[in-house]
Amino acid sequence: MNLKRIIIYFKQNYALSFKSLALMRIALALVCLADLIIRAGDLTALYTANGIWPAHLIKIFGWYSGYWSLHAFYDSYVWETFMFTTHIIFVVFLLIGYKTKLANIIVWLLYISLHNRNLFILQAGDDLLRLTLFWGLFLPWQHCYSIDSLKNKTKPQQNVIANLAYLLLIFSVYFFTVSLKTSTEWRTEGSAIYYALSLDQIRLPYTGDWLYTQPFLMKILTYIVFIIEIFIPLFILLPSKKIPFRFYTFLLIIILHIGIGLTLFVGLFFIINMVTAIALIPDSVLNKISCFKNSYKINFALKKKQNIYINQFKKLVIVLLIFFNLLINLSAVQWFSYEVAKPLRGALNAIKISQYWGMFSPSVLKNDGWFVYDGRDSFGRQHDLRVDSDYVDFKKPKHVVSMYKTDRWRKLAENMQGNNTFLRPLYCNYILNKWNAEHPNKKMAALNLYYINEINLENYKTTNPNKELYCYCTNEFFPNK
């Protein structure tokens, strides 16, 4: 088989629908809008000097060579408002397909900047969103349902290497998450979903609570989830000319993440996973959907040598980036002993293609708990700042998950449970200052931030709750400058 036939084979079997790509662009832009609006609700708290993470600290904790952030250039509400507004404007451009590639670049770069501004509220969905925007730079997703398509009179061309890069991204999410799930909870016991739903800090009321009462169903669903995560990467790589394997993949992803979204408090994670899979839908499914224009004027003119060289260089860059993406993922599994060389890490960090798909792996988190805000006024009298009560209640709330305004706060709480203990005094000080600003007639002089920790065991049992003092802070505890 000569090279020409190989190229034709890949074009036939790994082509992506221009309509599906355009729909993914639109849906992704809508998700970006939702994400930015949700984040903007905590703009002061999460991104300014008056919040939990002042800019002068970001290079001290969790910062790696090559990282950068325009959001940290100034540390004020006005600057963050400007950055968020700019971000939203270009997301709208991406949504309507106006100057699509330029908008794509700016949205992607601003997401790198935003993610680096506060690393401790991120989850895997953020990585998937950012990486899909990155590969969108090379995908022809501006040729349908866009203002640009009304002006462009040339026939869109498939970029097979970019297609493979996108397919390998979706492949990596599920191949590596299932590879990292090495515990008996996933592979033999079938108890992973039970332990996931045992986490009060993440289990949703009603649907999550109901499923948690069904031990046999949880066991069956654990095996089903594991099998689905095996079949998804397999179907992605199989040729799809005769059998629409990738459409089956899309359906499996939708089913899997609807289940997650109905039972677990994961923010936009499940929506991001569904939206980034839309490009897997073939034209045969979308044959009733038309582009803004129904035909293209084909340009038969020979390409200039300069354009050929640029295209070849672009393909080489994509191939190298595919290699580094796979290397980053492989370095996370135990059986692979190589990793990216140090001289290259800074460059890769600058474009932030870092990723880790270890959702609920190798085993499910079992440490669980809830916060208690034991405030003290100037006379030493107690006050519960969470429920605004003179009695400080250490009992578990009916729904622990309701303590968190958004998934960003839940993720921050999860990080504070681990090795990131430096976050605790910052969080404590923020809670105290926020209370005093909102309750001028009931100001507190100090706050005892407690975390009531318990460990989930089998058969609906837990260890005895352990009251841990995370931090004691006063009004003068932590200066913002």
pLDDT tens for residues 401-429? 999 999 999 999 999 987 899 999 999 99
Domain definitions of the chain by residue range: 14-290+300-350, 367-474
Q: Which residues lie across from 367 on neighbouring strands?
A: 455
pLDDT of residue 463: 97
What is the torsion angle, in degrees rounded to the nearest 10, for the CA atoms of residue 274, residue 175, residue 179 and residue 269? -20
Which position has the token pair 């923020």?
Answer: 430
Q: Which residues lie across from 466 on neighbouring strands?
A: 453
pLDDT tens for residues 18-37? 999 999 999 999 999 999 99
Per cent of the chain over pLDDT 70 is: 94
Question: Average pLDDT of the chain?
Answer: 91
Of 106, 105, 104, 82, the residue nearest 95 (C-alpha): 104
The Cα–Cα gap between 118 and 414 comes to 15
pLDDT of residue 300: 34
The Cα–Cα gap between 347 and 160 comes to 25
The Cα–Cα gap between 200 and 258 comes to 20
Evaluate if residue 278 carries a pLDDT over 80.
yes
Do the beta carbons of residue 219 and residue 225 sit within 8 Å?
no
pLDDT tens for residues 33-66? 999 999 999 999 999 999 999 999 999 999 999 9
Burial 4-30 (b: 16+ CB within 10 A, else e): eeeeeebeeebbbbbbbbbbbbbbbbe
459's CB contacts (< 8 A; 6+ apart) are none
Evaluate if residue 294 carries a pLDDT over 80.
no
Max Cα-Cα span within the chain: 86
The amino acid occupying position 298 is I
CA 463 from centre of chain: 31
Do the beta carbons of residue 171 and residue 227 sit within 8 Å?
no
Evaluate if residue 303 carries a pLDDT over 80.
no
